[in-house]
Each structure stands twice: as C-alpha cells, then as structure tokens.
Amino acid sequence: ALSLFRKLGFRINLKKSFLSPSQTIEYLGVIFHLDSLTLSLPQAKIRSITSLCLDTLALSHRSRRQLESLIGLLNFASSLVPLGRLRLRPLISWMNSHSVPSSRDLPVPLLPPFKSLLEIWSNPTFLSTPVPMTVPTPTIQLMTDASLSGWSGVILPYTVSGTWPLDYSSQSINWLELMAIFLSLSHFLPLIRGKSILVMSDNTTAVACLLNQGTLRSDSLMSLSQSILEFCLLHSITPVPKHLCGALNVLADQGSRPNPVSTEWSLDPSTFQWLSDLAGPFQVDLFATRDNSHLPAFVSPFPDPLAVEINALSLHWDAWDSLYLFPPVALLNQVVPRLCLFPGSGVLVAPRYPQAPWFPSLLLRSPDPVPLPVSHSLSQITSQGQVFHPTPSVYSLHAWRL
C-alpha cells in the first residue's frame, strides 16, 4: 500500500500513520474504537484531566483565568463522555456567577457547590466511558405538546394527556413543553426502554435544551433538561430531539388543550357522503389524521404507519386521479396553486372568501362552487372528547369541484 500511494504521488507522514491493521486508532486526541463504533479519551488525556481536577479540589481559591483553562480542557472532553456537556454547563454557570471576565486574575473562592460539580470530572471511570460515533436510527416516534392548561404525548396508536397542577401556573411555556416531554417519556417507559426514540416537539427551546444537553440561559430549564437526560441514560433510552412544525403537531396539540384547534375541524359523515355523490368517488383524503379521515387512504401531517403518505404539500398529487381536500384555511395559499396544476378530479372544501388572495385562482379552477348543506356539522377530538362547532355556517364552506 505504501509503495502504491508513493507511486501515485502521495507524501506519507509516517509519524501520524498506523502501518499495522488495528481496530483502535488514536487521532487528534480521540480514540476511535472501530469494532464497537465508539469514541473515547486517550489515557494520557484522562490522567491530565483527573490530575488537574484533583489539584483544583484540594485548593480553596483559583483565579478565573485558571478556571477558564480547566473548563477549556473539560470542554474538549465533554463530547467524548456520556452527557458531558450536561455535566459541564453547571460549572460554566457557577464560574460566571462568581467572577467577571474583567477581573480574570483575582482569586475566586472555590465553594462546596463548585467542588461537588467538579468531582465527577476527577473520576477516571466516568472519563473512560465511550460514546457512540453516530446516533442510532430512531425506531419509535414520540410527539408531545403543552398548553397553559395541560399536556399530551403520542406514540401511535397510544395517547397520554393530563392537566397541570395549580403550582405550575407560574412556569413558562418553554418549561411546560419540556415537562410534557418528561411526563410522556415516563408514561411510555415500558415501550421505549433501551431504544432510540425520535422526540418531536413544536417548541424550539425545548428541542434545543435536549439537543445541547441543557442551557445557560435558564436555571429551571437546565434543571429539567438534566432530569430528562439522566432519566434517559438510566433507562438506556437514546432521545433524538427534532422540531415539529406546530401545524403538523396535530394529535399532541389536540390532547394538550381542552378547547378545539381551529385547523382540525372535520365534516360529519352525512355531508361527506353528499360530497362523494356530488364529485366522488375519491381515492385519498389529502389533509387528515387517523382520527378524522373519511377514507381508508389518507395523507397525515406527521409520521403514521396507517397513512399512505406524510405531509401533503411535499407530495406530487398526480399520483392520484381523484382527491378529497379539507385543508386548514391558512394553507389555501399553497393548496390552490397546486390544484390549478392538478389534472385530475375531486373536491376541495373551503370557504367562499372573495377577498382572499387565492380566491380568483380557485374560481378559475372551479367556477361553480356549491354551498354545503345547511345540516352540515364540524367536529373534532380534544382532551375532553368529541367537540362540535356551535356555528359551522360562519365559515361559509363550499364544495369546489375539480
């Protein structure tokens, strides 16, 4: 191999090369375990860290400059030990609250809380524990949501929900969203123990707290993030946080709120049958969930094994000849241009709003919209059960034949 590379014009750095086959390679201060696909710290680095931590624990004072040097060393190690960044953030927070950058050389008293946080970094066993090179592919999907009144978690086909106790009323919505994740993980523990799980929330702060292993901006969010991540570590759960657009977080959103969600109304079966007689039969319910679909084939806004596809706006609608569409009004700006290019048939249930920007295009595509029967009703499932709209006529819903 050396001869071939040299003939091809490569200059080989022998000092940094491993000329004998090995499944354990040290490169740039990291040990690559190719047999287990894990990473760990070299023993020399572990000895350096433990020595510096033990020296610091034995002292009563250190300057901020010396603490920054220590934390810099720990920062390198934090990505190579389990929940390393989670263990590091409290040290950074303590240093920032007990010293200022403008006085780096003044002595800082090392109080017991700081030493307690530092102790784990002096433990060679902790520093020797490897971490996986890549995140395992999630096998389970958890969707969560929280409102000021309650929370919900969904692992299809199962749902859990609850209301907040009174002493949670002072907490921020970000904290409530994180707590919804914690409660959902705890409830579904028998299903998710030992597995990689996709944790989906429409709250970007909650997702960031889990992705970044905590935050320096809020003590309460940091504490709750720590509880969640340590719970997952204890039960061998690998959480893979992901932001889910609020418009797609339908089932969890419904479960967390006692009141109906404006985007999730569904027509009654009799009116749907009237639509089928008018413009059907339809092949697919393009904007639906398993709870409100009128057809066996439906496209869900979120991953669902019962759905034929996910996220209607990302699909080519030409795959079907006849569509049934009852999208949220807010999506009509995107839906109508797609329908103008759709060559098939079907029906769109939408309001007759002449002032809407999409109205002229829709009128060209479907010149003779038909009002829904006076008897039509709208309903949806909430945490309180099935709820009916008191005045569905307010939407002026029409059947727009395609």
pLDDT > 90? residue 3: no
Q: What pLDDT shows up at residue 161? A: 87
Q: What is the overall mean pLDDT for the chain?
A: 90
Distance (Å, rounded) from C-alpha 272 to C-alpha 326? 11
Here the tokens at position 184 are 């959902």
pLDDT > 80? residue 327: yes
Q: What pLDDT shows up at residue 304? A: 80
274 in the same domain as 247: no
Q: Which of 62-71, 75-84, 255-264 has the lowest mean pLDDT?
A: 255-264
Q: Which of 85, 115, 132 is the last residue of a domain?
A: 132
285 in the same domain as 216: no
Residue at 358 is within a domain: yes
Residue at 250 is within a domain: yes
pLDDT tens-digit profile of 84-140?
999 999 999 999 999 999 999 999 999 999 999 999 999 999 999 999 999 889 999
Q: What pLDDT shows up at residue 259? A: 66
50 in the same domain as 34: no
Q: What pLDDT shows up at residue 377? A: 87
Reported confidence tier of residue 165, pLDDT bands at 50, 70, 90: very high
Reported confidence tier of residue 291, pLDDT bands at 50, 70, 90: confident
Reported confidence tier of residue 203, pLDDT bands at 50, 70, 90: very high
88 in the same domain as 147: no
47 in the same domain as 24: no
CA atoms within 13 A on the CB side of 134: 6
Q: Which helix (H) or strand (E) holds 379?
A: strand 378-382
Residue 323: count of CB within 10 angstroms of its CB: 23
pLDDT > 70? residue 77: yes
Q: Which of 347, 310, 305 is nearest to 325 (CA)?
A: 347
Residue at 230 is within a domain: yes
Q: Name the H helices within 212-352.
A: 219-234, 250-256, 269-279, 332-341
386 in the same domain as 281: yes
Angle at 167 between CA 161 and CA 168, to 5 degrees: 50
pLDDT > 70? residue 72: yes
221 in the same domain as 196: yes
3-state secondary structure of 83: coil
Residue at 170 is within a domain: yes
**What is the number of domains present in the chain?**
4
Angle at 115 between CA 49 and CA 227, to 5 degrees: 95
pLDDT tens-digit profile of 42-54?
999 999 999 999 9
Q: Is 265 exposed, middle or buried (0-12, 13-18, 19+ CB in 10 A)?
A: buried
Reported confidence tier of residue 80, pLDDT bands at 50, 70, 90: very high
Residue 281: cis peptide before it, omega within 30 degrees of 0 = yes
277 in the same domain as 389: yes
Query: CATH code at 188?
Result: 3.30.420.10
Distance (Å, rounded) from C-alpha 68 to C-alpha 379? 59
251 in the same domain as 146: yes
Angle at 242 between CA 149 and CA 257, to 5 degrees: 15
123 in the same domain as 82: yes
pLDDT tens-digit profile of 299-321?
988 778 888 998 888 889 999 99
Q: What pLDDT shows up at residue 250? A: 63
pLDDT tens-digit profile of 229-283?
999 999 999 999 999 876 666 666 665 556 667 777 888 899 999 999 998 899 9
Percent of the chain with pLDDT over 90: 64
Query: CATH code at 343?
Result: 3.40.50
Q: What pLDDT shows up at residue 247? A: 60
Q: What pLDDT shows up at residue 254? A: 61
Q: Give the pTM.
A: 0.72
Beta strands in 223-363 (DSSP E): 238-243, 266-267, 284-285, 299-300, 309-310, 322-325, 345-351
Q: Which of 113, 132, 151 is the last residue of a domain?
A: 132
Residue at 204 is within a domain: yes
The residues near 392 (Cβ < 8 Å, ≥ 6 apart) are 265, 376, 377, 378
Residue at 330 is within a domain: yes
194 in the same domain as 180: yes
Residue at 261 is within a domain: no
Maximum mean pLDDT: which of 161-175, 184-198, 380-394: 184-198
Q: Which of 95, 111, 132 is the last residue of a domain?
A: 132
Range of the domain at 32: 2-39
Distance (Å, rounded) from C-alpha 178 to C-alpha 169? 15
Query: What integer is the mean pLDDT of 204-209?
Result: 96
Q: Which of 209, 215, 175, 207 is nearest to 92 (CA)?
A: 215
Distance (Å, rounded) from C-alpha 85 to C-alpha 392? 52
Q: Is 402 exposed, middle or buried (0-12, 13-18, 19+ CB in 10 A)?
A: middle
Q: What pLDDT shows up at residue 49? A: 96
pLDDT tens-digit profile of 336-351?
999 999 999 999 999 9
Residue at 333 is within a domain: yes
179 in the same domain as 208: yes
pLDDT tens-digit profile of 359-395?
999 999 999 999 999 889 888 776 667 778 888 888 8
